[in-house]
Amino acid sequence: MSADLPSQHSENTHRWFWLPEDPHTAPDIMDALRRRLYIFALLFGLPVVLLVWLLEFQNATHNPAFNLLYPALLIVLLGTLYWLKSNRPLPPIERTMYVANAITFTVQFLTIRSTPSSEVILLLVTAYLMLLANTTIGYLMFGTRLAGYLSLGTFTLSVVLCSVMIIQTHPAALMISATRLQLSVAALLVLIHSLSWYRSIYTRIYSERLQMQLELYTDPLTELPNRRAAYRAIEHLLTEAGNGTSGSIILLDIDHFKRVNDQYGHPTGDSVLHHFAQLLRSSTREQDTPSRWGGEEFLIVLPATTLSQAAALAQRIRQTLNTTEHDTVGRVTASCGVTTLHSGDDLSRLVARADEALYRAKAKGRNQVVASQDALSTALEGHYLPPATSMNEPMT
């Protein structure tokens, strides 16, 4: 790890280890899972369709309609695989697959009349497998209710079509075997519907609980992790320290924040807090945890970070703040106290050292970065901490 920490990270990809995934990202996750499922199914289904076509072609009594049906289905499946691998939107290709499958098993049912009685059951098994596959796609595409109606409709239509075709041209005994198959398929359709219903209920409950956790560990004003989340991040840091991993924290305080509230009002003060939070968010890495500690105080938890690296980051934040004026208040400054993990540390000792360093930064005139008093503090003087501007002049 270099002495300088990465300073920029996209706000949209910033995550903290203690924070569950935002429930609003659930649709994106579901899309990714569906895409993987479709690709896996296609890699398995393509050879199967090709083999069925070849076997049908070798059959002396095969139906001429299959000479066009199976090649067309293979082309659709190959195009679907290409579409999915190209990361293109899912809905258009899902609808294409749904329609292609529906056409396939409908044609299969229509060919019952011209199929020898000895091969009808095999044809029905193939058709109903396609119907089950299409039903699964429907439950992935649509909500449980709409997919259930579509499943019921297509199954009812298949039963009617199958029965009419068999009764017209085949022995009555064949209808008994077809009915057994249809009852088995009906049971599978009920199972698929039940699983979809369970998934929708579970997803809703999980999303609600996830939202509650987000609210529990997020500061509503700055949208940073709150103090409760910072506690968890520090505990994680202490646990990792037991495995020999370094870690540091920075405690930051916006200078003369009461003056901002008194002179400009609390809404402007809130804007300053949000302004500062944005700076912390953009200045830290993905594994870091910038948090609102309370009031105008903020705390950054830095895993795998030495004292010198943490001090360099604090200095960079301080300097960036000095050169990034707030729209209303103008120049805003902050004082920073930095400390690193020591053997035998607990949460209170670690935070107390950072607080003591912050107190000394304020005592030195504010707008300062001060490291906790340890072996590295002397080395930091003048190397990472160039003379800071005093905050005695009135704010603009």
Q: Report d(CA 195, CA 190) in Å as an integer.
A: 9
Q: Indicate if 215 belongs to the active site.
A: no
26-58 vs 90-110: helix axis angle to the nearest 10?
Answer: 30
Catalytic-labelled residue, pool 119, 296, 297, 325: 296
Give me the residue label for tokens 């903020």.
Answer: 298
Q: Which residues are catalytic?
A: 296
